Structure 1
């Protein structure tokens, strides 16, 4: 598929064919991410439904939402050590290959019946996804001639289309099999998808930048020993703690969920503080880190609402949405294909628009794009209030309400996510290349952990009061970001 999309000359500066006018290596990364997202989003579409299903784990909706949110949070939290491995141990290219193997093993484990294999499989998928995410995005950045290459934002948007192509197909295939045939067979199909992605990546690595094989700052022998010692100490503490709790008969699921959730809120603060205080950073890098924190906070607020599309909205769709269109009744998991198909339709339009406006000197700044994203995500939950109210008497609402909500969220996503990936690679201090991509993903962790903490506390996120409060918060944040746009732009020190 990649080769059929690859055009002949012109050639890039690094040699080789182009991919929609971009470096040929983008095709390899596009296809790798597409298959990884096929496996990830297929499993994710099944996850909240499996958690509440009588034939699944049969949990309460609030518990299912908490598990779902914390699982997503861990995927993005682990992107930070994933970036660290790329920077200090294996290099981005090797890290991605290992990560894909771990993800595949996780989906295979999920395909086994039983509660223990289920949670073990989730842990493996989260670990592998964390290793992969930061490094594959960093490799996209390596394909371009520095942060001022005008193709860069467009390249990340095309890469983002690969994510959504896999995400679109996954619920239709994996979701249908999981819901209609067997949950665990659906998880097995996710493993097959990741296997295809791994093979494609290994065959196409020759097209990637040589920088992707380099370990930017290898660990010294002393650092390796210190890191291993600290890791073993923390592992021993966890084993002893949970052995005591379990032995005393006190263990419940919250003993795992609450510490993870709190860690997901505390660790991002600690990481940003540590980088900001690093005296090895230049004055320009320090200033840019201050500007980056603005984007980080805005992204956390955005993802807190956006990621409820797979939990709060999915459970609402299961219970309160009519899934019959023109006489055809479709699986609930198919709702998860609405967002990616909209992204595929709208992403090339926005990629073209940003480039066209850039040529005229009129492209909106990154700050304005982020402000627009927050406004749109707030509007999506204002729209959500309407079907929530309509279904209050137990009636089911039309599918088009879900389409309208996802449409607003998709526009917001395209203003924030690919742009955020790009600006992170531009603003990253040299010392923290791949790690900064992991820091960017910590914004998702913070947002999802906030949702998880609310669910653990028993808050029903499908109540009009809660939805309205979240909508108001996002819109107020959008206004605040827009009002301070000149200040934030100055902190970016020349980065657009």
Structure 2
């Protein structure tokens, strides 16, 4: 009798590979923990000790917030190296999640500034290990010809923004209404749930290949790699040891050192790629086309990332939070960023689909985005000027975020796509790191610039900063034809 064979149906998640659910929920909880912590960290640092805070001045707290964000993106370079050359993506992501969880636990303990610094180190390293590699693992779920890939990434990004949206509402409320340490505890619990999901789901649904490095270090390479690591560590020891001996090792100086690194590293990468013999003439032209786009992204991120610093301070100090029927918390305004991303994403997807080949070029989208980013700050001149020392309506902040996220829709996803298209063949991975280093560079600059902000200088700060970014957007528009020529056929 002839046997009957029934093809086993693939288990799916919203029509996608089942492994996407594991990565979706892991990133949901990781972003929940990170943005929950971030929603209250600024206030925890500068609130008076009797209010449960650390009693830092607001300038120091703002600088720490900015350099913290810069370090998170700089650490992604380390995470990519460890996954690609040593441990593989799956183990690297798990290690990162464990470090993040312990970083939140450190903040949950009442050990003051020391716990804060330990937490920063753990979360920076942990996020650097997790963030770039979990995104890369999404791509490994699909074959190159699988038409579900773009939709899968869209679902994954939705998980990121859902976690970011819920976090300020929950962690922010508990942190500001009850106790900061309890709020940080909830962030730690969120990461713990993410680790459970990742560990058990990963064993069932993630590929075996994710357990192994894609480009393992060979025995011949090992001495050179070890030498480079020793040199980097020695450089840090010399710099910070020298500062300690000179009596200059303080939080302000540490911020300055990492600000310099955040600015210098992307410049070093550009020089490396442009001068390399592995870069062809056409590829070198495309790098020159990418440079103005990169620095446009730096200007955009410098404004967008100030949402958790400058706009958070504006929410706390210069916004009418008592609406009579409800009292708003400053941390709740951090929900606006992911909220508008979720709202705008399908709208822009429809717009680009409808326009098809008639849509603006990549440089034109960047220039438009830069103008919108600047206008989000120019707008804030109105409440700071019209109201004087009086508290401003909360809708000004809502409108500012609504405008800057339009800029994000024009720059962030477009920039990722342009980076992959313009990358030289020999530097494809490094070029993707460059895109994230743009955010690191922006926040390294912010660590210095935010020192200029105060309640009394707010109108000038918003006006000058916004006008500079708008002006660069206009200049970029003028340069669009030249940039398109340098792109050598890339649209």
- Shorter-chain TM-score bucket reads 0.7 to 0.9
Q: CA deviation at 1:201?
A: 2.8
Can you list the C-alpha shifts for 1:325-359, whole angstroms capped at 9, x where unaligned?
A: 3511122100101121121122122223333433x
Cα distance in 2 for partners of 1:22, 1:375 equals: 37
Aligned to 1:103: 100
Give the counterpart of 2:78 among 74, 77, 81. 81
Cα 1:211–1:478 change in 2 (3 A) is farther
Moved more, 467-476 or 224-233: 224-233
Q: CA deviation at 1:81?
A: 2.5
Q: Is the 8 A contact 2:310 2:453 kept in 1?
A: no
Give the counterpart of 1:66 among 58, 63, 66. 63
Aligned to 1:301: 299
Alignment RMSD: 2.9
Q: Is the 8 A contact 1:87 1:432 kept in 2?
A: no
Cα 1:92–1:449 change in 2 (3 A) is same
Moved more, 375-384 or 289-298: 289-298
Can you list the C-alpha shifts for 1:275-323, whole angstroms capped at 9, x where unaligned?
A: 3333224555444333332321111010111111111110111011011
Q: CA deviation at 1:478?
A: 1.8
Cα distance in 1 for partners of 2:470, 2:219 equals: 50
SS of aligned partner of 2:358: coil
Aligned to 1:365: 361
Matched length? 478
Give the counterpart of 1:276 among 274, 277, 287. 274
Moved more, 485-494 or 17-26: 17-26
Cα 1:139–1:196 change in 2 (3 A) is same
Q: CA deviation at 1:364?
A: 3.5
Q: Is the 8 A contact 1:83 1:436 kept in 2?
A: no
Aligned to 2:118: 120
Give the counterpart of 1:463 among 458, 461, 464. 458
- Aligned residue runs from structure 1 range 115-154, under 5 A: 115-142=113-140
SS of aligned partner of 1:89: helix
Aligned to 1:474: 469
Moved more, 253-262 or 425-434: 425-434
Q: CA deviation at 1:50?
A: 1.1
Q: CA deviation at 1:258?
A: 1.0
By relative contact order (CA 8 Å, sep 6+), the higher-ranking structure is 1
Give the counterpart of 1:389 among 363, 385, 390. 385
Give the counterpart of 2:347 among 346, 349, 361. 349
Q: CA deviation at 1:183?
A: 1.1
Aligned to 1:196: 193
Cα distance in 1 for partners of 2:17, 2:483 equals: 31
Consecutive unaligned residues of structure 1, counting only runs of 5 or more, are 1-14
Q: Is the 8 A contact 2:298 2:438 kept in 1?
A: yes
Cα distance in 1 for partners of 2:151, 2:469 equals: 27
Aligned to 1:30: 24
Can you list the C-alpha shifts for 1:24-44, whole angstroms capped at 9, x where unaligned?
A: 544443322221111111111
Can you list the C-alpha shifts for 1:254-276, whole angstroms capped at 9, x where unaligned?
A: 22111111111111100222133
Greater Rg, structure 1 or structure 2?
Answer: 2
Moved more, 62-71 or 73-82: 73-82
Can you list the C-alpha shifts for 1:402-448, whole angstroms capped at 9, x where unaligned?
A: 11011101111122222323333344445444443321111111111
Give the counterpart of 2:36 among 13, 31, 42. 42
What is the TM-score normalised by the length of structure 1?
0.87
Q: Is the 8 A contact 2:380 2:400 kept in 1?
A: yes
Q: CA deviation at 1:157?
A: 4.2
- Aligned residue runs from structure 1 range 208-287, under 5 A: 212=210, 215-239=213-237, 241-243=239-241, 245-246=243-244, 249-287=247-285
Aligned to 2:323: 325
Residue 52 in 1 paired to residue 46 in 2?
Answer: yes
Q: CA deviation at 1:217?
A: 2.8
Moved more, 25-34 or 344-353: 25-34
Q: Is the 8 A contact 1:32 1:201 kept in 2?
A: yes
Consecutive unaligned residues of structure 2, counting only runs of 5 or more, are 1-8
Aligned to 2:5: none
Cα 1:131–1:414 change in 2 (3 A) is same
Cα distance in 2 for partners of 1:328, 1:400 equals: 15
Q: CA deviation at 1:483?
A: 2.8
Q: CA deviation at 1:249?
A: 4.2
Q: Is the 8 A contact 1:381 1:405 kept in 2?
A: yes
